[in-house]
Copies of this chain bind each other. A is one copy, B any other.
Amino acid sequence: MAHVAFVRRGCPVVLPMAFGRDGDRMFLHGSTGAGAFLASRDGLDVSVAVTHLDGLVFARSAFDSSMNYRSAVIFGRAVLVPAEDKQDALRAVTEHLVPGRWDEVRPPTPKELAATTVLVLALDEVSVKVRAGGPGDDPDDGEDRSVWAGVVPMRTVVGVPERSPLTDPALPLPPSVTSLL
């Protein structure tokens, strides 16, 4: 998930959105509401953050306590994806979220495509930050060694798939789901 910031009437707005990537282009796809904010013929200056939290860093002081993470912050002008490229852009978003799913489901109808706003942003200006590893641990730092220090890793996992009421229990899980498990 990406967090997309833009300026509306002089004030900052940030919204969570789904995204996809194709090489040096990023596609952004939000709810209709979010799309309406963002839709503009001339494009819209945005800043987009994608962040993964990898762990909690337990130092022996409050000051040195930290988090391990990877973040990318992109700056640029997002523009509407033209109608003829919209399907490919949506495929990129779906494939980013759930690889393989696009070819398992019904593609969008022309009406559905028309109701969908997708933006494209060039990955030209990107700031990447990574914090990894343990807390600073220096024999001469004067900290109290009776305090446990280290890292507690964090990750996102998937749970047990829950079929919808109208899905036949005999239907096997599709490859896009089993590959997540």
Which residues of A approach B to under 8 Å, CB–CB?
1, 3-7, 10-16, 18, 45-49, 51, 53, 55-56, 58-63, 65, 67, 69, 71, 73, 75, 90-91, 94, 97-98, 101-102, 104-109, 112, 116, 134-135, 137-139, 143-168, 171-174, 176-177, 180
10 pairs of residues in contact across A and B, judged by CB atoms under 8 Å = A4-B14, A7-B10, A12-B45, A15-B49, A56-B180, A106-B143, A151-B161, A151-B162, A151-B164, A153-B158
Set B59, B105, B107, B162: member contacting A150, Cβ < 8 A: B162
| Contact between chains at B108 and A61 (CB < 8 Å) | yes
| Contact between chains at A104 and B147 (CB < 8 Å) | yes
| Contact between chains at A150 and B135 (CB < 8 Å) | no
Q: Is the interface of A mostly helix, strand, loop or mixed?
A: mixed
| Contact between chains at B112 and A63 (CB < 8 Å) | yes
| Contact between chains at B3 and A62 (CB < 8 Å) | no
| Contact between chains at B13 and A5 (CB < 8 Å) | yes
The residue on B at minimum CB distance from A135 is: B164
Q: A134 vs B166: C-alpha distance in the bound complex, in angstroms?
A: 11
From residue A14, how far is it (CB to closest CB) to chain B in Å?
4
| Contact between chains at A150 and B134 (CB < 8 Å) | no
Set B11, B135, B159: member contacting A47, Cβ < 8 A: B11
The residue on B at minimum CB distance from A171 is: B148
Q: Known A12-B47, A49-B15; judge A166-B148 contact (CB<8 A).
A: no
